[in-house]
Structure 1
Amino acid sequence: MIAHIDANLSSELDGAALADIAAYSRFHFHRQFAALFGLGVAKYIQLARFHRATQQLAFRQQESILDIALDCGFESPEAFSRAFKRLHGQSPSAFRKSPQWDETQTLYQPLFQARSKTMPKAAIVPDIEIVDFPQTRVATLRHLGNPARLGDSIRSFIAWRKRHSLPPQKCATYNIVCSNPDDTPPEDFKFDLCVATHIAIAQNPEGIFEQTIPALRCARVRHTGPDHTLNDTIMPVFAHWMPKTGETAGDYPIIFHRLSLFPDIPEQQAVTDIYIPLAQSGKTRDL
């Protein structure tokens, strides 16, 4: 039922129909949802719709506020703007110009927590294959500092890509995970935003620079879902697969290859291939 909501945020989401999808009594569905997830179904839908709207406003400048309003189920941009401002304390146009990322992260935490409760509690070892990651030249914007401000770096990165005609459909998008936000002080957090390209990179205000991801022997695992659940896919590789196979981690950060991204598709359907570098002396068989 959660997956249905997240995949149909532009549609009318009737409470009775949702109860049928959940296979639960229509008379008690709302109480059961609130007891399980810590917020009511109407609040969940509101947060899910507006969370997608924040991503569209911040990262999809070509989408008009009218289109975003209609996508959220509002009949006019004025009604959408009033509701958005009540929730965020700033209008959609003000948010588009200068997002308040710290407040936004706090505001949507109940949504993230509700979604995390739909994940299985037991660690499931995903399908893993050992592959050779090819040497890849990339243009890089390095985010340094509080991960809550990563959105500002993403906006700068997207703007630079657009100026140089490097769309995701033609040029692969990578992230180099230089720091783990779970155990790194915010001021020391480092995260590389990368696009594969051979163009010459001139000095630029965004601070984009060239680097080469080396050829690497990696464990590759596919993650489907939002970014805040990436660790649920990564950790079983270290905790279960590596001890079982005798493989050990190599001396290079984890790489994310972004195959499809939210908000272009529902967040639960976003696909990322995760490359975990392995020591060269490890075994070569796939499991």
Structure 2
Amino acid sequence: MNYQERFHQLLNYIDSHLDEELTVDKLSRIACLSKYHFHRQFSSLFGITAFAYIRQARMKRASYQLAFKKDMKVVDIAVANGYESSEAFSRAFSQSIGQNPSKFREQPQWTSWHEKYQQFKKLRIQRMKSDKYSHLVEIVNFSETKVAALEHLGALELLGNTINSFIDWRRKNNLSPNVSRTFNIVYDDPAVTEPDKYRCEICASIKSDVKQNEYGVITKIIPTGRCAVIKHIGSDDTISETITYLYSEWLPQSEEELRDYPLFFERVSFFPDVPETEIITDIYLPLK
């Protein structure tokens, strides 16, 4: 492996082993580098130390566990992310995120959270370009699927609030991802859409129509039709490169024409249930 590939492998390893003790000896061995020079090499390449990267990766996972895994106790989240007590975790989380764990769980301030993680996100986009998704694009006949849909209208950074509402609705209706497929219908490109006008829908497959509810969840149909589908494996931070490949490379070469229906995703596995490097998202591009 070349120098960049070693560090790419290392970051993937860190993201997949956040539960473990990550020492200099272990990290330098994974990267096939001398432990005496490891810290300087990591810092010079990424702009932060290896342990700062690990802390931020764990805090990101802890944030998602607090927000979306309400069945997990704070003390269990603390231990899972390397803290010996909930008090130590609370101090570190408050210093890093700006809210204590209980307040964040109750009402996450996603806008400020994304601002704090912007540098971390850029690092991952620049250095962790997805090499795990296959460029294999299949053409499939997607079967009509009835879904419960909750619209998100507003900045992409606030999507977490909509996800939380939808999780609550699913829980009350016994429609966990184990028994119901999860979809996103993506109406806009966040890169070119004004934040307050960005629109997407979070969906779960259902058999019966949705009853009127306080959440605003309604019944919709994802129509039958031909679709190009590509599998994205990894963080949503790099999902745009997979979508760009579909539009800019695959589509012109395929001589296919697009159908008048938006791009949609099927979420096969989720973070933080699995490490970010193991998230699976099937991306569907509707065709005529």
Decide: shared fold, TM above 0.5. yes
Letter in 1 for 2:112: E
1:171 to 180, 186, 190: 180
Name segments (4+ residues, structure 1) moved above 4 Å: none
2: distance between equivalents of 1:248 and 1:38? 44
1:14 to 19, 23, 37: 23
Q: Which runs of 5+ in 1 are unaligned?
A: 281-287
Match of 1:126 in 2: 135
Match of 1:53 in 2: 62
Matched, 1:90 2:99: yes
Q: Shift in Å at residue 91 of structure 1?
A: 0.7
Q: Where do residues 251-266 of structure 1 align in structure 2 (5 Å cutoff)? A: 251-266=260-275
1: distance between equivalents of 2:20 and 2:172? 34
Distance change >3 Å, CA 204–CA 84, structure 1 → 2: same
Q: 1:260 is paired with a residue of what secondary structure?
A: coil
Q: Tell me the percent identity.
A: 42
Matched, 1:158 2:172: no
Q: Shift in Å at residue 190 of structure 1?
A: 0.4
Match of 1:216 in 2: 225
Letter in 2 for 1:192: E
Q: Shift in Å at residue 244 of structure 1?
A: 1.4
2:44 to 18, 29, 35: 35
Match of 2:85 in 1: 76
Match of 1:202 in 2: 211
Q: 1:195 is paired with a residue of what secondary structure?
A: strand
Match of 2:109 in 1: 100
- Give the aligned length: 278
Q: Shift in Å at residue 125 of structure 1?
A: 7.5
Scaled by the length of structure 2, what TM-score is found? 0.93
Q: 1:184 is paired with a residue of what secondary structure?
A: coil
Q: Is the 8 A contact 1:125 1:241 kept in 2?
A: no
Scaled by the length of structure 1, what TM-score is found? 0.94
Residue deviations 1:128-184 (CA, integer Å, cap 9, x gap) = 010011111100000011111100000000000000000101100000001111110
Q: Where do residues 138-153 of structure 1 align in structure 2 (5 Å cutoff)? A: 138-153=147-162
